[in-house]
A and B are shown apart, each in its own frame.
Chain A
Amino acid sequence: MSTITDTHSAPAAHDDHDHHDHKPTGIKRWLFTTNHKDIGTMYLWFSFAMFLLGGSMALMIRAELFQPGMQIIDPHFFNQMTTMHGVIMVFGAVMPAFVGLANWMIPMMIGAPDMALPRMNNWSFWILPFAFLILLSTFFMPGGAPAFGWTFYAPLSTTYSTDSTALFVFAMHIMGMSSIMGAINVIVTIMNMRAPGMNYMKMPLFVWTWFITAFLLIAVMPVLAGVVTMVLTDKYFGTSFFDAAGGGDPVLFQHLFWFFGHPEVYIMILPSFGIVSAIIPAFARKPLFGYASMVYATSAIAGLSFLVWAHHMFTTGMPTFASLFFMYMTMLIAVPTGVKIFNWVTTMWRGAMTFETPMLFSIAFVVLFTIGGLSGVMLAITPVDYQYHDTYFVVAHFHYVLVSGAVFSILAAAYYWLPKWSGVMYDDFLSKMHFWCSLISVNILFFPMHFVGLAGMPRRIPDYALQFADINAIVSVGGFLFGFSQLIFLAVVVKCALKKGEPAPAKPWEGAEGLEWTVPSPAPYHTFDVPPKV
């Protein structure tokens, strides 16, 4: 610990120099910033913009599916919409939102003045908009954007794809680089820049879950880079990784993709666990139940996430013993995930709860994520998965964990820390409107999908048989309600950004714990120039 104190005594000597907050103004401030708060803010705004863009694509899908028959868009464009919706939501909305939260909160939570590698931090954000510009530019190519699904299974993405594939691959490479740099930064920061006295088992769970997430990112992003490169060379350079005619195997693609893809699923949910583990104790005014078991459960989930990838592939014709292995491993994940849910509920038990908006979103998270988790257990059972696979049951499942799971936790985090970021309290009425509209509409949107999937509607189809019509109409209405509800959130955030609202105290939540509440609101440009004592 003494070494950490020593390294930090040097900048502390320049105190009055640093406290001037001398930052460039205008566009230069944002382009050249190495400040974790500025970069966090940019990540969060970028993610919200992508969320609205990806959401508008979802609305296009839902508009077409409102009624049977082809009314609005062509099937080929429909496939472009499903593909781009998936890619944008995963890589543009959810992941950058978590990186933004990590940037803002991790240094403040561990008492560090900034991220460990601030210049790389700047770079890892600023390559992202270009990746998405490249990806979105494919809409203007002949044949349009990629239309092979966000999972880009070969050979649909190789021999049978349009030239937008090349740009898709390039964009994926850039997104991967950004994620890896972000992950390295998180790990280096957490390992080296904790305030004296903050040992690993004292770190807030958000820091812990991000620490584990960052290792997952470093492990699997290179696999994604590898598999997109193989798609590129199969399409343009005559290799046959995924082409049986040249000795390859299309199923190899799926093994590689899901070896990335399954840990990716946990990359998008582990930070949520951290957020909810911060918010529920704060509003229950009671310490988190089972802190240590939360850490172990998160690690167990991360470890198991490398052993379950082929549960996405039960119908590809794997040997029986392989199916059984992946079924058992997948079911096993329910144990540590259950531990987490039980811990949250027990944290609430015999607390003294109040229900501010961050708490409302967190409670909704626990309920709806549990529903998504339970349908996940159903999907793990191989013989029944043969029936569920590639139907709307799967669509319902992963939207429950990703939208009412990951996205709700991000919204909870935004409401929880907005006073700290902006210095003003958010508009309570609007935020409650946002919550109730979102909660109701998200269930109208995704709950009926379970039924239509069980009844036999495949996913990724632009038109459907008549018996699916009623439920699809309900789902589409829910989709539009949910989409437009998010504009309320935009209004709330804009009001805070314009400093319209009651000034926030340093610690606006009675039961909140953590170093971030020891600095004033809004958090000064530089915090913890002198490391705090924990």
Chain B
Amino acid sequence: MKVRLTSLLVGAIALFTATIASAQPSQLNLTRGATDISRQVYDLHMLVFYICVAIGVVVFSVMFISIVLHRKSRGVKPAKFHDNVKVEIAWTVIPFLILIGMAVPATITLIKMDDTSESDLSVLITGSQWRWHYSYLDYDVEYLSNLATPREQIYGRLPRTENYLLEVDRPLVIPTGKKVRFLITSDDVIHSWWVPEFAVKKDANPGYINEAWTRVDEPGIFRGQCAELCGRDHGFMPIVVIAKEPADFEEWIRGEEQRLADRRAEEERLLSMEMDKDELMRIGQQVHLSQCAACHQPNGQGIPGVFPAVAGSDVALNDRARHIEVIVNGVAGSAMQSFRNNLSMSEIAAVVTYQRNAWGNDTGDVVQAADIHNHIQGNQ
């Protein structure tokens, strides 16, 4: 029996070690990251890790020597000692000194990490269920960043691609060599903005603003995830940051400002235009799937007791004004957020039209961007 158990144990350990050894180094350890701070954090991690391993080796060695030598089957007689003041003082004082050795570099690094002064650029990061909103405070640029992995990959109907669950439609873009300050907050529950390669993880607390910063040396793409449980789609809220050379960054930000200006002009133009119902339904379905389906589900059925159904609901069948109001301003005290700043008026019009005519909701209603505009004007 003993032999069988031992060979089983050895086999299991061998299999286990083989699998671990075949993995890429980055799959097994903390990243060194892309910033001076992240490398300091990595060095600190390795320092503490080696100290812990050394302590473990010493303690376990003594123990296993004891297990081998001091067993009754070898006919040893047990010793009787049960106290030794000198030894006990030693193993209280020595660990204390080791801890001081770890605390000093940790303190120095922490003070640097928490110093957000003298930044070159500030980005307001707002978490909401389940996307990130980036707003460049020094420029007229803001946008939402959503998971870009299609549902078909998540549910296994399409093969999963390389950056599965770590890809977004609009990444955050920052310049290299500049101190970028992140102001982090939330619209609803607590999220946490984490990019391992920057060693930045900061909670997004609703109603409060946290600060963090980074200075990236080289251009690159960096991926992270929301790190605080934030509800159903917590696992589907990635972060992608692209670092560009300052000149490329300037070019990108000018392009973004232009794009936003164009979009506003288009919005104005669409106000006076009627879109036909097919067009509205087509855009509306896209908006529903990207913005609404996480809670209300692609079939509009919601999740009973958690997220109300849109299909067959009183609001979607009868109360058109309320329907628009809920999407424009959200519902206070619930998970339903305001989409006024996240969607254009034509997109809101399209999704209202879609929800009033899909899944057996046969109101025949057609809502135009002008209706949304009027609703907002009426409110103000």
Binding site for B on A (CB under 8 A): 68-71, 75-76, 79, 141-144, 147-149, 153, 155-156, 159-160, 162-163, 243-245, 249-251, 284-293, 315-317, 320, 323-324, 327-328, 331-332, 334-335, 338-339, 341-342, 345-346, 348-355, 363, 366-367, 370-371, 374-375, 377-378, 381-384, 386-387, 389-391, 429, 436, 440, 444, 448, 451-452, 454-456, 458, 460-468, 470-471, 474, 511
Contact = CB atoms under 8 A, between A and B. Distances in A.
Among B27, B96, B211, B226, the one with the most A-chain Cβ atoms within 10 Å of its Cβ is: B27
A141 B30 contact: no
Contacts of B225: 456, 458, 461
B232 A244 contact: no
Given A244-B207, A383-B106, A461-B225, 13 more contacts: A68-B164, A75-B235, A144-B306, A160-B129, A286-B80, A320-B110, A342-B59, A350-B79, A374-B56, A460-B235, A466-B164, A470-B19, A470-B23
A286 B79 CA distance: 7
A456 B196 contact: yes
Interface of B is mostly: mixed
Contact of B78 (A143, A350, A461, A474): A350
Nearest to B63: A345
B3 interface: no
B27 A468 contact: yes
Contacts of A352: 70-72, 76-78
Contacts of A386: 41, 113, 199-201
Contacts, number: 316
A353 B103 contact: no
B92 A335 contact: yes
Contacts of A159: 188, 333-335
A343 to B, nearest CB: 8
Given A143-B304, A327-B103, A339-B88, A474 B19 contact: yes
Given A317-B211, A436-B5, A371 B56 contact: yes
B41 A384 contact: yes
Interface stretch (B47-55, B135-143, B246-254): B47-55
A250 B190 contact: yes
B321 interface: no
B107 to A, nearest CB: 6
A112 B312 CA distance: 67
B229 A156 contact: yes
B155 A143 contact: no
A243 B30 CA distance: 35
Given A378-B49, A465-B166, A353 B70 contact: yes
Q: What size tier do the contact residues of chain B reach?
A: 35 or more
Interface of B: 1, 5, 8-9, 12, 16, 19-20, 22-24, 26-31, 40-41, 44-45, 48-49, 52, 55-56, 59-60, 62-63, 66-67, 70-73, 76-84, 87-88, 91-92, 95-96, 99, 102-103, 106-107, 109-111, 113-114, 129, 153-156, 160, 162-166, 188-190, 192, 194, 196, 199-203, 205-208, 210-211, 224-236, 303-306, 333-335
B229 A79 contact: yes
Given A156-B229, A371-B56, A316 B203 contact: yes
B63 A366 contact: yes
Contacts of A456: 31, 196, 224-225
B71 A75 contact: no
Contact of B67 (A79, A346, A363, A391): A363
Contact of A160 (B72, B113, B154, B189): B189
Nearest to A163: B305
B206 A382 contact: no
Contacts of A436: 5, 8-9
Contacts of B88: 290, 293, 339
B26 A455 contact: yes
Contact of B82 (A141, A291, A328, A511): A291
A455 B225 CA distance: 12
Contacts of B107: 324, 327
A335 B95 contact: yes
A458 B226 contact: yes
Contacts of B55: 374
20 contacts: A76-B303, A142-B305, A292-B83, A315-B227, A324-B107, A328-B103, A335-B92, A353-B67, A354-B71, A377-B99, A386-B199, A390-B192, A390-B194, A390-B201, A436-B5, A455-B26, A456-B196, A458-B227, A465-B163, A467-B26
Contacts of B109: 383
A346 B333 CA distance: 59
Given A245-B207, A251-B205, A444-B16, A374 B23 contact: no
Contact of B91 (A160, A339, A384): A339
A342 B95 CA distance: 11
A353 B79 CA distance: 11
B203 A383 contact: no
B46 to A, nearest CB: 10
Contacts of A284: 70, 78
A454 B29 contact: yes
B126 to A, nearest CB: 14
